[in-house]
Amino acid sequence: MNFFDGFPKPEPMERGKNAKFVPPPWIGPPQDELPSVLPVGQFLYRSPTRVLVVKSAEIYTTGCSFQLAWIIRRGEESDEEWTTLHASVFQHGPGMGPTSADLQLLFGVQLPDETSARTGIFGPGGPVNHDKEPAAPALTFRGGGGSGNDDEVSASGSLWLWSLPADGELRLLAQWKGLGIEECSVAIDGSNFSTAAARAQNLWP
């Protein structure tokens, strides 16, 4: 007989089912909705070596998510300068990389009703409190993926705007002084946001 066979075998324990975490609406899009997607396809910033674009807007019943992408092309940077720039592209989230507003990636929005919001690491527009509902509007940056090589680096992310703004033109703004991108903006046609939100569908029948 095997040595371990003589010991009592423990009874398996019922693990049970953990309660599903449902993030509050100001943190991000509803997890159980299929949004209505509106094309945007506009440049927030464009230069020979820097491009920042707004690809589309995903409209949910509680807010909208703007899909972003940026590409940095190598110019006259030395190997050391390019390595530093390459790293800074991916160190744009709270607690990652520069903490100075002069260097970090910032986004903002101006709504038709003249209210506004911004992202950032400290102060207004800083890390959103999961437990305390902020005053609307609230703007949250959500990082995505990225890749790079010796010639080019690209990355993506999204901006979650809560709550759903009133129909009308809104303006998205950005600044990334660490990469030489001064304040820039683009107007977004939001005249049909409410109609698009009505087309958002629940995932589960």
Q: Among candidates 180, 175, 189, 138, which has minimal Cα distance to 26?
A: 138
Residue 167 lies in a domain: yes
Residue 1 lies in a domain: no
Residue at token pair 């903006």: 185
CATH number of residue 176's parent domain = 2.60.40
Is the pTM for the entire model greater than 0.85? no
Which structural domain, as residue segments, surrounds residue 132? 24-197
Residue 141 lies in a domain: yes
The number of domains in the chain is 1
pLDDT digits (tens, 9 = 90+) for 144-171: 888 888 889 999 999 999 999 999 999 9
Please tell me whether residue 187 adopts helix, strand or coil conformation. strand
Altogether, the residues listed in the chain come to a count of: 205
Average pLDDT over all residues of the chain: 86
pLDDT digits (tens, 9 = 90+) for 118-140: 986 433 445 556 678 888 999 99
